[in-house]
Structures are given as C-alpha cells and as structure tokens.
Structure 1
C-alpha cells in the first residue's frame, strides 16, 4: 500500500489530498484525507481538513503564514492523524499552472539535477506570476521536509500541447513572438482531461476515438472552455496567460487590447503589487486591473457567482445592484455560448456531450439552464429541471457524473462532472510507475 500526497497550490491557498494506492491493483485508489489552507499571507488564514473513513473534521484559524509554513502545517496534521512518519509518503504530485511547451511531467528528487529543473519552472513565473513561483516554493519545501519522497510536477498546459499551430499562434511579429514564447498555451488542462475521461466512461465510449467529441466548460473563479476530440485538446479559450477567454471572478477575459489604455493612463507603468508573490514581478498597472479588478468584481462589485445569482433574485436590494448583477450573469452566459458555438463548428458537430464542471459549473443550476437554453439550436437538449436542481445532492451521494437532460433525440448529452484534478494527477502517476 502506497501513500500518495497530491498538492494543489493557488496564489493564496493550498489544497491537499492524501490517497492510498494498492500497488497490486492498478485502479485501487482510495482517498484518505483532504483539506485546504485558505487566505494564506492574510490575517484571516484558516485550515480545514477531514479524514474520509470517519468523517472526522478539523477546522482551525491560523496566524498570517507563508505557503511554506502552510505546507509544514499540512504535514504536521497528517503526522498527528494518519501517518506515523514522513517516509510513509512515497510520492507527491503537484499541479503546476504553467509548463510552457513541456510535453511530459517533471520528476523531482533530492539530487543535483533538481535545482536546474526548479529554476526552469521558476523562469515561467513571468507568465503565471500568481501561481508558478508558489508551486516552486512548495516543491522546495517538499524536498526539504520529505527528502525520501519522489515529486512529480504535472502541468495545466500539458493537455493542450496537441493544439495545432494555426490555433496557438497569435497574429504578431512572428520571430519576435517566438523568441519571447508568446503563444496560446491554455490552462485547466488537468481538469479538462479528467472530466472528459469520466464522461467517456459514463457514456460507454472510447475517449481516444476520433468520433468522441466533448465541449468541456470549466467554470469557476477562473473559467475556460475546451474542445476535445479523440482524447486531445484541439482548442481552448485561455491563452498566453489565464487572462484570455471567459471573464472570471476578477479577470476581464478577452477584450479589445486597446481598452485598457483608454481606461487607465498609468497602464504602461510598472507598479509593485501589494500581493507578496507579485512583488518580485512588478506587474504593470494594466495587468493588475485586468487580473484583480475586472471580471465579475469589476462589473457588479461581487466576485462570488453564487452571490450574483442571489442578488438577481433578492427583491430587497436596490434596483441598480440587481441590474448590474443581471448584466454580469448575462455577459458570462453570452461569452460561454459564443465559445460553444465556435467549438461546435471546429469539432464539426456530432458532439458526444456538453460538460459543466468547476465551482460554478457544478453548483449554479441557473447558469446551466441558461446556457443550455441558448445552445438548443445546436442539437443540445434542454435540461430536466428536477435533475438540474438535484446535482449537488447526487454528488453528495457519491455520483461523479450527473446527466441533467432527458435524451430524446440526437447524439449530444448534457452532463455535470465533479472535477478532481488531484485524482487525475494520481491516475497519471500510477500509469507511469
């Protein structure tokens, strides 16, 4: 039996899942514990975790901590509750947002080649300043605290390396863009890979067959759409950075590039951010506005999509707040369905399923219904209201796929799949060891 620790580092959070794998049975993977440390570097940091078998839960407020201290806290928790020594953790898998054009995972051990590999990962921090440097810090902590474990870094960009040149190339001066590595990379690849495999299994079709086609909607505070054919990404909405494509909680999504210069006279100036991770990279005023002050937050002052839908239906609020919440909701739906239409054409129709996933995709029944109503003209069925309203309950019962439509004609289905990036990394690891 092998303990595998999965780490998912965010700009201000650190999630973990501990899995137990029976090496004699390839598919025998059991989740033992999971938890999150949120609001890292703030005064309101908190830790929450649970042991799956007993449903024992732990919650704790923490003083302002760094990502390294957050990782140490997780290891201390595991030693106190589940494992007897650090050496019991044989493998650690890490979600790393940006891997540029890497075509395989990084393997990192306590050996002389590791500093060079980490330096390569850290060099991509200019492309993903909120994430990559944090991942490097966590990997360094793992190498220090668990020197006998083997670390695997899995990249969100890896799944999208199958995107063809005419899709990933921007219409910019060619040689200069190539020199500076400016192209579409795509993100959420681990999630898109996982949910389309789960959907194919649910439908009883071969994920790798060219007739298997999915449009995957990973909708959360960061959101992206992906067109998947034969188990390969052929297009996705995020680009050089996670900023391109759909709007998010605080990101603008795709806009006219000139808009930012009309919005802010200081857009060209580099200013040191108040965020500790960003201080090293000196984001321009433009990048700060587009990444932190735009999206849902910029439109209506709310960054949580659940709060936006509540505001729409809350009659006690002022009319202006409701109208701006409705505008935000409608903008998000509009951008989503525009990409669905585009990818429907790119995949040449006959879509196996439209997949909703991510925090919003899995939890917003209003959004799912609005989107499917708009794309009915493409052959997607409308949602069954009862099924759509009971998605969360189905997940709580242990289902990882919920079909929210009654399929009466045509091929396409509408599914909600609970994403699990940590399990996808573990699955990929087991396939390699």
Structure 2
C-alpha cells in the first residue's frame, strides 16, 4: 500500500488537534480534535468526508490515550499504513530553529529548554511528540516552529529598549508567533497578484482570539507585533496587548494584586472580554451592537479595530512598497464588520472597502475586498496544517530516500 499521507499534530495543554493530509495533492482526508483532556468530559471527534466519529476518552484522559484512540480509528479506516511521517506544530523555536527540523533527542531537549519562553505551549507540544513516538515509533517526526518565519526580523525590530545584557544572557527579545499562518497567506497573496513571493511586500493581519500583524518585505518577515510572549501588540480576545508597563507596578504596589493575578488578568481577562464585560467572541459582540446597542460591546470592537489599523499603519515604516493587506484568522476571515472598520482608518494609505466584495469573502471564501481604485486588500483563509504537511514533506524529501517518504 502506498504511503502518501502526513499526520499533522497540534498539541495543546488539554487538547490534541490533528489532520491527515496528502502534501502533494493538498487533500485533507481527515480532521479531528481531542479536547478537555485530563477531565471526565474528555472526548475525541474525527471528521471524514460526511462522516463524524465521536468517542469518550476514559481514564486517565491523557494525550497518550487520545493518540492511541486516534491510531485505532486510523487503522479501522485503513489509513495507518498510508502514513509516512508526522508533522508537529511547535510554538517556540527560539533563535535556534528557523527551518522545519527532524526531531531527535537533541531537538526534544531544546524544545524542553525553550519551555521557559513558552510555558503554556512547548511542554504540550513536547507531550504530543513523545506520545506519537510511542505509537509511531517507525515514522520520522518533524517539528515546524511558529517562530521560524520571524527569524528574518532584523535586530532593530527585535531588540527591546532594555539593558542589552538581558538579550545576551537571557534571550529576551521579540520572537513573534503565528509564523506558519503568515507564511501561508503571503504565499497565497503572491499567487493572486502573479508575482514571485521574493518580490512581494505585504502587511498580514492574523486576527482571531490571538492576533498578530506582520510586515513582509521581499517575502520575508521583517517585523511582527507579538513579541517575547503572545501578549504584546494589538488587543486580542482575552489578552490586553500593549499596555504601559507602569500599570503592572501600580496594580501590584498600590492596589495589592499579586503577580499571578496580574498575569492572569492581562492574558485571560482583558482584550475584547475585559472591555465588553460579556465575551471574547467577536460574533457575540457584533450581535450585541444590533437593536438596542450594548455600549461596552461597541467600545470593545471600536478599540480593537482602531488598534489593529494603527499597527498596520505603523508597519508602513518598515516597507518601501506595499502590494496590499491580508486578513486571515477566525475574525479576519469572517467578520466583514471588523475588516470594514479597520480599513475605514486607512484611507490615507488609499484603502477603500468594497462592501459587496467584503460581504462575499466569508466562511472560507477568499478574494479581494477593496474597490478597483483602492490599494489591494484580500481575505485569505489560513491553512497552517497544510504548511506543516508541506514543509515536512519537503524536509524529508531532501534527507530521506524516495522509498522512505513514499513517493
């Protein structure tokens, strides 16, 4: 049986997202999610064409058990023998990794060391890698790092205005995230305008519960809004984004907050949720604006749109030319209101939304949403899983035999 699929694994602290992809044809034949792991409500769902398979995950409710159930289902569906590699999303690669990397013990040790820079993500990613090794012990595994695309950022963009020793001794600098997403949509936009990616200049806005803006020059990231952690930059679903650092000291020293409380506040209780007081979901807030409008919901979306527009405008300082703006991510792909609001702040840069095109570009539809006389702006659904599969295939094709990678 021909081995033609890559299993893509995105392991969270209490979840396991997976896709089975043919990297040559780009066909995704199966997707799924195991969620609420480590609880009695743990479950796993697989989607195959029009078929949905759901199962409860029994004690001990771990990633290992979830992957064992996944393997069992893949075997029953006659897919397991067709898998030739595993591609893992790993959030933080530090300064060490700027390319997809074949996983070995040294790589795992480095991912573990980098957990201090991504304590919520890298340990979970490593858990997924170890769990897959137990059941796919004969298959190569590849790490694709979220930070890799941003390793081209120059020092003027990644160095903070702090004592330089903090960078030299503790690697405190801007790293950026969502790199796989920005890479994918930039490549797609390059196809739209029929230019090689190496000649393209974009500003990419990945807007979801987490948000980041990236300036892309000649196909490479040269600045990005997420920094040392995923809390810097624009306001997000539950994250504050940029705040005056003095507020942190005021909360601790004057109002008696603990550092743990402040950390939870700026990461989990701020952003759209914090301002609106009702939800971090853009859809809920937009609904609250209709009829008798909720003032705080309106304020939250107004602040969000303005902050994103301001960040986009600031990134023109990084570029000498601009082919256009890209919207992606859950909000960027689906909220015509947010897109229109953001572009309304950018008329000085010659962006004018075409409301009919903007309305059409939702729920998986992609395309240009600005008028013919405007500078271009596109909606492009992201596909990080395909990028991981594609980059895994490319790496293995260059390092392993044709027989091994199943071509």
TM over 0.5, yes or no?
A: yes
Which residue is equivalent to 2:94? 100
Q: How many Å apart are 1:376 and its aligned residue?
A: 1.9
Do the aligned residues in 1 keep the contact of 2:251 with 2:262 (CA within 8 Å)?
Answer: no
Q: How many Å apart are 1:251 and its aligned residue?
A: 1.0
What secondary structure is seen at the aligned counterpart in 1 of 2:22?
Answer: strand
Which residue is equivalent to 2:264? 288
Do the aligned residues in 1 keep the contact of 2:276 with 2:300 (CA within 8 Å)?
Answer: yes
Counterpart check, 1:8 vs 2:4:
no
Do the aligned residues in 2 keep the contact of 1:260 with 1:267 (CA within 8 Å)?
Answer: no
Which residue is equivalent to 1:278? none
Moved over 6 A (4+): none
What secondary structure is seen at the aligned counterpart in 2 of 1:422?
Answer: helix
Find the aligned partners of 1:156 and 1:128 in 2 and give their Cα distance.
11
Pairing of 1:87-126 with structure 2 (within 5 A): 87-101=81-95, 102-108=97-103, 114-126=104-116
Which residue is equivalent to 1:390? 360
The number of residue pairs the alignment matches comes to 389
What secondary structure is seen at the aligned counterpart in 2 of 1:303?
Answer: coil
Find the aligned partners of 1:182 and 1:332 in 2 and give their Cα distance.
27
Pairing partner for 1:36 from 30, 33, 37: 33
Which residue is equivalent to 2:240? 252
Counterpart check, 1:337 vs 2:339:
no
Q: How many Å apart are 1:119 and its aligned residue?
A: 1.9
Do the aligned residues in 2 keep the contact of 1:362 with 1:391 (CA within 8 Å)?
Answer: yes
Do the aligned residues in 1 keep the contact of 2:11 with 2:127 (CA within 8 Å)?
Answer: no
Q: How many Å apart are 1:366 and its aligned residue?
A: 0.7
Is the alpha carbon distance of 1:150 and 1:314 closer, same or farther for their aligned partners in structure 2, counting shifts above 3 Å?
farther
Deviation digits for residues 248-304 of structure 1 (CA, Å, limit 9, x no counterpart): 2211111011212323455555xxxxxxxxxxxxxx333222112222222223121
Is the alpha carbon distance of 1:377 and 1:45 closer, same or farther for their aligned partners in structure 2, counting shifts above 3 Å?
farther
Report the TM-score when normalising by structure 2: 0.90
RMSD: 2.0
Pairing partner for 1:129 from 110, 115, 119: 119
Report the TM-score when normalising by structure 1: 0.85
Pairing partner for 1:68 from 61, 64, 69: 64
Pairing partner for 1:263 from 251, 264, 267: 251
Find the aligned partners of 1:152 and 1:60 in 2 and give their Cα distance.
28
Pairing partner for 1:308 from 264, 285, 288: 285
Deviation digits for residues 309-356 of structure 1 (CA, Å, limit 9, x no counterpart): 1112153xxx6xx111111101111110111111123213x4212111
Q: Indicate the structure whose relative CO is greater, using CA pairs within 8 Å and at least 6 residues apart.
A: 2
Consecutive unaligned residues in structure 1, runs of 5 or more: 22-26, 109-113, 270-283
Find the aligned partners of 2:78 and 2:209 in 1 and give their Cα distance.
32
Deviation digits for residues 180-199 of structure 1 (CA, Å, limit 9, x no counterpart): 11000000000000000011
Counterpart check, 1:238 vs 2:226:
yes
Deviation digits for residues 362-421 of structure 1 (CA, Å, limit 9, x no counterpart): 111110111111112201232x2222222235x2xxx5x322223225xx3110001000
